Structure 1
Amino acid sequence: MNYVLYAVPFFFLLIVLELLLDRWRGVSTYCLADAINSLSAGVLSTTSGLLTKALGVLSYTLAWQHLGLLELPADALWVWLVAFVFYDFCYYWHHRLGHERNVLWAAHSVHHQSEEYNLSTALRQTSTGFLFGWIFYLPMALAGVPPLVFLTVAALNLLYQFWVHTRHVPKLGWLEWLLITPSNHRVHHAQNTVYMDRNYGGVFIVWDRLFDTFQEELDEQPVIFGVTTALASWNPLWANLQFYVALWQDAQRAEAWRDKLRIWFMRTGWRPADVAASYPQDKPDLSRFVKFQVPLSRAQKVYAAAQFALYLAGGSYLLALGAELRAPVLLLGWVWMAFGLYALGVWLENRPWVVPLELLRLLLNLPALWLAQGAGLLPAETLAWALLLGYSLASGIALCWAPRALLRKAA
């Protein structure tokens, strides 16, 4: 069962409730562009996962079949309870090394790039975590945890983490000693020096207390969210590539071949001495921290939200059918999603080439629909074409109107 798919409506219901709570309390924990960027990264992640999940599932299953030391029954409650705790223990080390090693941080940093902290941040996930993430859960396979149990507790662990991404829940007393709560997870998303690289658990905070990575949220140190090397973009593709590109550039600049190779696996932030001297990086001054923003008119914001709704629906559709679709069909869906979300990021950044790119995106939807119908991804019905043409016409009209709205506002 795909628990994440069934949870999507509840995710968005809770996001709406959080927005209403913002209004009731007279605070603002959301920025539209940031929320769309986080959700875009999440949609791209789930779509990418349809193509890449086989690596983790296959490796786990093979290890369980051929290397498992025990044969644990999948119908025993105690196996599920032990697996739930065991998974969180493995997650702690996966998460911790995701902060402590360059190549792992390149994948995980996507989740931390938002300078806001709300429930949409929880859905901001990487598309490249499949490269190494599967390795950390092989001990469960060796211990004999059946794949069905493993996949289920993994989904439950992920679902639990959704609710802790909020600023509206204060400290929860004795639960702070046992569970990951909104308070100690806010610490985890901070870029303040006192908070950095702390509180790695997914469900249980006890691992952090045991291994000396726990940090309490302090009243005298308000959390500043984000990463020290700011993304400064609303583009979900660049969000996934940013740190890989930085590592590649440093590897190219390094003179020693040893440094070119080891930079990928050294502690996060490590750079070859010659590169650091020639290309110094300034540490951010958090006392003068300013969130990344791009001025947009109300019309541009409405247009962006409406266009994102299409890709949210498309991503949910692919997620629902993923198990039934062949790899070439999934790849077609991924390309359509990735290009559309890239174009949406360009729109939110108000780039000079945004209008031609939007026109190209709308035009490419026509051959995309034809290919999708030919591949069996969508039914070959006249209604689909009528809906697409109506959507394209409405979008074209809005496209001409929205930029002028910004000009009128500026004037």
Structure 2
Amino acid sequence: MNYVLYAVPFFFLLIGIELIADRWRGMSNYRTADALNSLSAGVLSTTSGLLTKAVGVLTYTFAWQHLALFELVASDLWVWLLAFVFYDVCYYWNHRLGHERNVLWAAHSVHHQSEEYNLSTALRQTSTGFIFGWIFYLPMAAAGVPPLVFLSVGAMNLLYQFWVHTRHVPKLGWLEWIFITPSNHRVHHAQNSVYMDRNYGGVFILWDRLFGSFQEELDEEPVIFGVTTPLASWNPLWANLQFYVQLWRDAVRAESWWDKLRIWFMRTGWRPADVAERFPLAKPDLSRFVKFEVPLGLGHKWYAGLQFALYVVAGTLLLGTGGEASLTGLWLACVWMAFGLYAIGAWLENRASARRLELSRLALNWPALWAGAALGMVPTGGLGWGLLALYSLLSLGALTGLPRREAALAV
């Protein structure tokens, strides 16, 4: 069962409730561009995951078939309980190493780039975590946990983590000692030095207390969210590539071949001495921290939000039908999705090329619908083409009615 697919309506319902709570309590935990950027990263992650999830599933299944030490039965309740706890231990080390090694942080950093903390941040996920993430769960395969149980408890673990991404829930007493809560997960998303690289558990905080990585949220130290090398962009593609590009540039610039190789697996932030001297990286002064923002009018924000809704619907449909789609169809869907989300990001950044990209995006929807129908991914007829025509006309009308540019992003 695809638990994430069925959870999507509840994700957006709870985001709506959190927005109401913000208004009611006089708080401001959402900014339109930041939330859309987080959600775009999530949609891109689930779409690309239809192609990349096979890496983890196939390697786990192969290891379970050939390396399992015990024969565990999926119908036994105790197997599920064991697997649920076992998964969280593996997740802890996957997550911890994701913060402590350069190449793993390059994938995981996407989740931490938002300078806000709200339920949309929970959906901000990487598209490249599949490269190494599967390694950390092989002990479960060796123990004999069946693939169905493994995939199910993994989804449950991920769904649990959604609700802890909020600032509206205070400390929860004795629960803080056992479970990951909003308070101790706020610590995890901080860039304050006292909080950095702490509280890695997915469901249980016990592993952090056991392995010395726990940090309590302090009243005297308000959390500042984000990463120490700011993304400074609303582009979900760049969000996934930013740290890889930094590592590649440093590797190319390094004089030592040993440094060129080891930089990828050194502790996060390590750079060759010669590169660090010639190309220093400035770190923000948190006492004067200013969140990244690009001035946009209300009309521009509404337009971006309405256009993004198309990709939420498409991404949800792909989650439901992607398992039956051809490899060609999935690749085309990923390209269409990536380009569309990139264009919306450029629009939110108010770039000089934003309108040209937007016109190209609207035009691309026509061959995309034709290809989807031809490949059997989109059940469409006259109604589908009519809806697309109406959508295109309304979009073009709104686009021509908005000001040309307000304040271009300096690049």
TM-score, normalization by structure 2: 0.98
Aligned partner of 1:274 in structure 2 is 274
Give 1:379 shift.
2.4
Alignment of 1:80-229 (within 5 A): 80-229=80-229
Q: Which stretches in structure 1 are left out of the alignment for 5+ residues?
A: none
Aligned partner of 2:36 in structure 1 is 36
How far apart, in 2, do the equivalents of 1:63 and 1:366 lie?
43
CA contact (8 A) 2:350 2:406 kept: no
How far apart, in 2, do the equivalents of 1:59 and 1:372 lie?
30
Matched, 1:62 2:62: yes
Give 1:323 shift.
1.0
Q: Which amino acid aligns with 2:194?
A: V
CA contact (8 A) 2:44 2:338 kept: yes
How far apart, in 1, do the equivalents of 2:361 and 2:64 lie?
45
CA contact (8 A) 1:94 1:133 kept: yes
Aligned partner of 1:366 in structure 2 is 366
CA contact (8 A) 1:191 1:228 kept: yes
Aligned partner of 2:2 in structure 1 is 2
Give 1:100 shift.
0.1
Aligned partner of 2:396 in structure 1 is 396
Aligned partner of 1:48 in structure 2 is 48
Deviations 1:209-238 (A, max 9, x none): 000000000000000000000000000000
Aligned partner of 1:329 in structure 2 is 329
Q: Which amino acid aligns with 1:359?
A: L
Aligned partner of 2:73 in structure 1 is 73
How far apart, in 1, do the equivalents of 2:40 and 2:294 lie?
17
Aligned partner of 1:379 in structure 2 is 379
CA contact (8 A) 1:190 1:226 kept: yes
Aligned partner of 1:21 in structure 2 is 21
Quick one: percent identity of the two aligned structures?
75
How far apart, in 2, do the equivalents of 1:403 and 1:101 lie?
45
Q: Which amino acid aligns with 2:259?
A: D
Q: Which amino acid aligns with 1:2?
A: N
Alignment of 1:210-249 (within 5 A): 210-249=210-249
Structure 1 stretches (4+) deviating beyond 3 angstroms?
Answer: 404-407
How far apart, in 1, do the equivalents of 2:370 and 2:280 lie?
50
Give 1:372 shift.
1.3
Q: Which amino acid aligns with 1:165?
A: H
Q: Which amino acid aligns with 2:123?
A: L
Give 1:406 shift.
5.0
Aligned partner of 1:341 in structure 2 is 341
How far apart, in 2, do the equivalents of 1:159 and 1:138 lie?
21
How far apart, in 2, do the equivalents of 1:198 and 1:285 lie?
21
CA contact (8 A) 1:303 1:402 kept: no
How far apart, in 1, do the equivalents of 2:392 and 2:252 lie?
44
In structure 1, the residue corresponding to 2:55 is in which secondary structure? Answer: helix
Q: Which amino acid aligns with 1:57?
A: V
Give 1:283 shift.
2.2
How far apart, in 2, do the equivalents of 1:170 and 1:20 lie?
18
CA contact (8 A) 2:34 2:114 kept: yes
How far apart, in 2, do the equivalents of 1:402 and 1:265 lie?
48
Deviations 1:61-83 (A, max 9, x none): 00000110000010111110010
CA contact (8 A) 2:60 2:147 kept: yes
Give 1:404 shift.
4.9
CA contact (8 A) 2:111 2:126 kept: yes
Give 1:382 shift.
1.4
Q: Which amino acid aligns with 2:95?
A: H
For the aligned residue pairs, the C-alpha RMSD in angstroms reads 0.9
In structure 2, the residue corresponding to 1:71 is in which secondary structure? Answer: coil
How far apart, in 2, do the equivalents of 1:219 and 1:360 lie?
49
Q: Which amino acid aligns with 1:84?
A: F
Deviations 1:118-138 (A, max 9, x none): 000000000000000000000
How far apart, in 2, do the equivalents of 1:379 and 1:79 lie?
40
Give 1:405 shift.
8.8
CA contact (8 A) 2:350 2:405 kept: no
Aligned partner of 2:316 in structure 1 is 316
**Aligned residue pairs: how many?**
407
Deviations 1:123-173 (A, max 9, x none): 000000000000000000000000010000000000000000000000000
CA contact (8 A) 1:228 1:283 kept: yes
- CA spacing shift, 1:374–1:157, aligned 2, 3 Å: same
Give 1:390 shift.
1.0
CA contact (8 A) 1:102 1:265 kept: yes
